[in-house]
């Protein structure tokens, strides 16, 4: 399966279980890998036979910067669902949502959730 990668998209959202996360918000980074057949797009040079990267970015942005969710897992599931709804050509989606600055004690680079979903 061919892949389209959108790497380290940066957004500001208000997701989390702690009150300060919902009030102050925080940064989120999203990696998106779309699995689909790109042969026709490559042979014809036709944008209609692939996924428009700008539209995929806006789809992800609408989820991360939209409705508040408690869990990063719910953010990832929302992204996967919206990608499938918006782009029927996509057969598989891998979503990684990274919280670089969660309000938890300790030393770490970030916390993240990664899911892979296939169109049924």
So where are the chain's domains?
2-118
Q: What is the DSSP letter of 17?
A: S
From CA 45, how far away is CA 49, in angstroms rounded?
Answer: 8
Say whether pLDDT at 98 is over 90: yes
Tens of pLDDT, residues 13-52? 999 998 888 899 999 999 999 999 999 999 999 999 999 9
Measured in whole angstroms, the distance separating CA 92 from the mean position of its chain's CA atoms is 13
What pTM, to 2 d.p., does this model score?
0.94
Instruction: Give the pair of three-digit tokens for residue 64.
Output: 């991360």
Active site residues: 99
Number of DSSP helices (H) and strands (E) in the chain, helices first? 4, 4
Task: Give me the sign of the Cα torsion angle 118, 96, 81, 2.
Answer: negative
Mean pLDDT score, 44-66: 98
Q: Domain 2-118 carries which CATH code?
A: 3.30.1130.10
Q: Percent of the chain beyond pLDDT 70? A: 100
On whether the CB atoms of residues 49 and 41 are closer than 8 A, the answer is yes
Q: Which segments of 1-120 does DSSP mark as H helices, in order?
A: 19-24, 39-44, 53-64, 72-86
């Amino acid at each position: 399966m061919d892949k389209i990668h959108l790497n380290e998209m940066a957004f500001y959202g208000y997701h989390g279980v702690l009150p300060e996360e919902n009030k102050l918000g925080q940064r989120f980074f999203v990696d998106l890998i779309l699995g689909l057949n790109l042969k026709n797009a490559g042979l014809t040079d036709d944008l209609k036979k692939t996924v428009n990267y700008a539209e995929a970015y806006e789809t992800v942005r609408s989820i991360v910067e939209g409705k508040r969710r408690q869990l990063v897992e719910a953010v990832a599931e929302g992204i996967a669902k919206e990608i499938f709804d918006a782009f029927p050509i996509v057969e598989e989606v891998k979503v990684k949502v990274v919280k670089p600055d969660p309000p938890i004690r300790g030393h770490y680079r970030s916390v993240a959730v990664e899911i892979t979903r296939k169109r049924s």
